[in-house]
């Protein structure tokens, strides 16, 4: 039996304008974004979004500016109301919640980490982290002990009585994450949470998030415009363009099988050897270890596999998961995976991947 998604977004539309509901029929009839704006003065923010978010996964929603990613995440906790469609949380439609029911959703079921940190400047760090529990009526003692626990876990012990302006950007964002974790919500929403940080701090925060996720298995919806960030942290990747889902799935699969020219262009410049893992390229099934050149792990990237092979295309490795053989990976398949599916002239005649293959063949 297939596990029910934690969140199911079904046929979701958001149209901005004076009479958005009357525009749904026109969009269903094929009117595009440009025509709807030009003829009727309405803007399509989201169009027919269908996404399942699994419990315990990090689902990353990404796209360029104006793609609708922030609009989408704000629908999940009711900051924006849909024009049409459903948002099911554990099978219950939360899209139309108002009043006490909506407040309960935000206090108990969903927490949010913002790009701008959104800390209360007049409150000390400890008070900021306690805030979610205090607002929903938890005891002062429980809020205090829980806040202290998460501040220590996120490396902020000793800063409890500082004000936000006395902290660096990375430390402020850790306070925001501590506040979200202290609420003990089912779902954590993170809207461009690391984009205001410098590159080194951003990488550190990604590592921290993955470390916490390994421990907590939260359901996280993470918004970003950065492909490298998305590929590093996503279990499930959703790519938007002009309010439409262009492709979604496991990140490795999207890299290897882009749905169209837009996705192909999106993934074309990444370092595939460092992003793709052995599991994505291996041939699963019955394992015959005779004639192989050793073992690699399912999570080893292709750069690691290439190093092990010393550029020899004739080699084959056993791929193991938790020490148990899971498949075979052939070096010929490794080098094929480095070339984009629809390679441009540079990749065919002299791009980095082509150069690697030529070097391996002449070694």
Q: What is the pLDDT of residues 47-70, one digit of tens each?
A: 999 999 999 999 999 998 889 999
Q: What is the distance between the alpha carbons of residues 169 and 92, in angstroms, rounded to a whole number?
A: 37
What pLDDT digit, counting tens, does each position of 194-228 carry? 888 888 888 998 999 999 999 999 999 999 988 88
More confident residue, 340 or 100: 100
| Within a domain: 182 | yes
Q: Which one is predicted more confidently, 357 or 103?
A: 103
DSSP E strand stretches across 250-334: 283-284, 295-297, 316-321, 324-330
Q: Are residues 221 and 88 in the same domain?
A: yes
Please tell me the predicted confidence (pLDDT) of residue 127.
94
Residue 23 · residue 85 · CB < 8 Å:
no
> When comparing pLDDT for 112 and 289, which is higher?
112
Q: Average pLDDT of 1-27?
A: 92
Q: Name the least confident of 78-87, 111-120, 214-223, 298-307.
A: 111-120
Residues 85 and 219 reside in one and the same domain: yes
- Specify which of 102-116, 146-160, 257-271 reaches the highest per-range mean pLDDT: 146-160
CA distance 356 to 331: 12
How many Cα atoms sit within 13 Å of 266 on the Cβ side? 27
Above 80 in pLDDT, residue 169? yes
Our count of domains for the chain comes to 2
pLDDT band at residue 163 using 50, 70 and 90 as cut-offs: very high
Residue 168 token pair? 């660096």
Task: Tell whether the model's pLDDT for residue 86 goes beyond 90.
Answer: yes
Do 334 and 197 reside in the same domain of the chain? no
Q: Are residues 314 and 185 in the same domain?
A: no
282 falls within a domain: yes
Is 116 domain-assigned?
Answer: yes
What pLDDT score was predicted for residue 352?
37
For residues 126-152, give the mean pLDDT: 91
Contact 13, 82 (CB under 8 A): yes
Confidence of residue 245 (pLDDT cuts 50, 70, 90): very high
Mean pLDDT on 224-248:
94
Strand pairing category for 219-224 and 187-191: parallel
- pLDDT over 70 (residue 344): no
Q: Looking at the structure, do residues 195 and 214 belong to the same domain, yes or no?
A: yes
At 345 the pLDDT is 40
Residues 158 and 79 placed together within one structural domain of the fold: yes
Q: Where are the beta strands (DSSP E) in 242-348?
A: 244-249, 283-284, 295-297, 316-321, 324-330
Q: Average pLDDT of the chain? A: 88
Boundaries of domain holding 79: 55-267
Reported confidence tier of residue 189, pLDDT bands at 50, 70, 90: very high
Per-residue pLDDT band at 342 (split at 50, 70, 90): low
Based on the domain organization, do 86 and 122 belong to the same domain? yes
Read off the CATH number of the domain in which 308 is found.
3.90.1280.20
Which among 209, 241, 267 is the end of a domain?
A: 267
**pLDDT reported for residue 2:** 60
By the 10 Å C-beta count (0-12 exposed, 13-18 middle, 19+ buried), 122 is classed as: exposed
**Are 222 and 318 part of one and the same domain?**
no
Q: What is the mean pLDDT of residues 126-140?
A: 89
Is residue 211 domain-shared with residue 295, that is, in the same domain? no
Is residue 31 situated within a structural domain?
A: no
> What mean pLDDT comes out for the span 342-358?
39
Of the chain, the percentage scoring pLDDT greater than 90 comes to: 67
Given this model, what pLDDT does residue 116 score? 76
| End residue of a domain, out of 210, 237, 267 | 267
The domain boundary, picked from 267, 296, 318, lies at 267
Mean pLDDT check: name the lowest of 29-38, 169-178, 244-253, 281-290: 281-290
- CATH code of residue 237: 3.40.50.300
288/215 same-domain check: no
Number of other CB atoms surrounding residue 30 within 10 Å: 7
The reported pTM is 0.85
């Amino acid at each position: 039996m297939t596990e029910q998604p934690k969140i199911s977004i079904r046929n979701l539309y958001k149209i901005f304008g004076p009479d958005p509901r009357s525009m749904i029929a026109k969009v269903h009839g094929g009117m595009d974004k440009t025509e709807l704006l030009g003829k009727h003065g309405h803007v399509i923010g989201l169009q027919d979004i269908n996404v399942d978010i699994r419990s315990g996964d990090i689902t990353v929603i990404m796209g360029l500016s104006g793609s609708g990613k922030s609009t989408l995440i704000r629908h999940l906790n009711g900051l924006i109301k849909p024009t049409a469609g459903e948002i099911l949380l554990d099978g219950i439609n939360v899209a139309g919640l108002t009043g006490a029911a909506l407040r309960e959703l935000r206090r108990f079921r969903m927490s949010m980490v913002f790009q701008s940190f959104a800390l209360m400047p007049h409150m000390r760090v400890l008070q900021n982290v306690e805030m979610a529990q205090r607002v929903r009526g938890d005891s002062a003692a429980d809020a205090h002990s829980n806040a202290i626990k998460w501040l220590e876990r996120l490396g902020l012990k000793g800063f409890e009585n500082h004000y936000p302006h006395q902290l660096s950007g990375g430390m402020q964002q850790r306070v925001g994450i501590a506040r979200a974790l202290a609420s003990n919500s089912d779902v954590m929403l993170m809207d461009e949470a690391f984009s205001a940080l410098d590159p080194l701090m951003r990488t550190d925060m990604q590592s921290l998030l993955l470390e916490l996720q390994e421990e907590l298995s939260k359901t996280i919806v993470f918004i970003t415009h950065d492909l490298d960030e998305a590929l590093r942290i996503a279990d499930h990747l959703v790519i938007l363009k002009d309010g439409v889902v262009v492709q979604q799935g496991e990140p490795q699969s999207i890299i290897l099988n882009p749905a169209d020219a837009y996705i192909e262009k999106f993934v074309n410049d990444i370092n595939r050897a460092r992003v793709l893992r052995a599991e994505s390229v291996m041939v699963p099934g019955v394992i015959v270890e005779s004639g192989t050149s050793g073992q690699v792990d399912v999570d080893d990237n292709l750069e690691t596999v290439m190093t092990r092979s010393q550029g020899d295309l004739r080699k084959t490795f056993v791929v193991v998961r938790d020490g148990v053989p899971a498949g075979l990976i052939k070096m010929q398949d490794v080098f094929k995976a480095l070339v984009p599916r629809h390679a441009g002239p540079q990749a065919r005649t002299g791009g980095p991947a082509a150069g690697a293959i030529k070097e391996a063949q002449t070694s």
